[in-house]
Amino acid sequence: MLFWDRIILYGGYKEWDNAKTLQMFPFFISDSEFQWFRQLADGEKDTLAHLKASFLKKFSNKEENRWIVFKRLAERVQKPGEKVKDYMADVLYLCRQVGEENDHQQRKIMAGLLPGIRKFVVDKGQQLWTR
């Protein structure tokens, strides 16, 4: 599952050991995943290996994962201070995971942009999308 690759990669970048990665895990998951995490027995989240097994057991169903990605996509907006290219890359990645077409991708990107940036993009129009 790509999520695990990403958290392990990020942990490596930050030079985290397994204990630190385990400690930081709740900060990388959605609200619904966090509710699941809080209800896990201690023995299912005491090591990174146990947590990964529990997480995959719960969220490895492809159709269920698709809805998780849809939820993340629906909630995704540009964060204050986030670069537009980083926001767009994340939205496009999520769109590809659920098979969204180009016009839906553009609408989702536009809807989640910070208001001042959205106005700039609307004012510039099509020339920004065709570069």
Q: How far apart are CA 74 and CA 71, in angstroms?
A: 5
Q: Residue 60: pLDDT above 70? A: no
Distance CA 93, CA 31 (A): 20
Q: Measured between alpha carbons, how far is 82 from 35 in angstroms, rounded to an integer?
A: 27
Q: Provide the pLDDT for residue 40.
A: 93
pLDDT of residue 34: 87
What is the per-residue pLDDT for 123? 76
**pLDDT value at 111 more than 80:** yes
Rounded to whole angstroms, how far apart are CA atoms 109 and 77?
A: 8
- Confidence check: pLDDT of 131 > 60: no
Residue 62 pLDDT grade (very low, low, confident, very high; cuts 50, 70, 90): low
Longest distance between any two alpha carbons in the chain, whole Å: 55
Residue 74 has pLDDT above 60, yes or no: yes
Q: How confident is the model at residue 44 (pLDDT cuts 50, 70, 90)?
A: very high
Contacts of 91 (CB under 8 A, 6+ apart): 73, 76, 105, 108, 109, 112
Q: What is the predicted pLDDT for the residue at 64?
A: 60
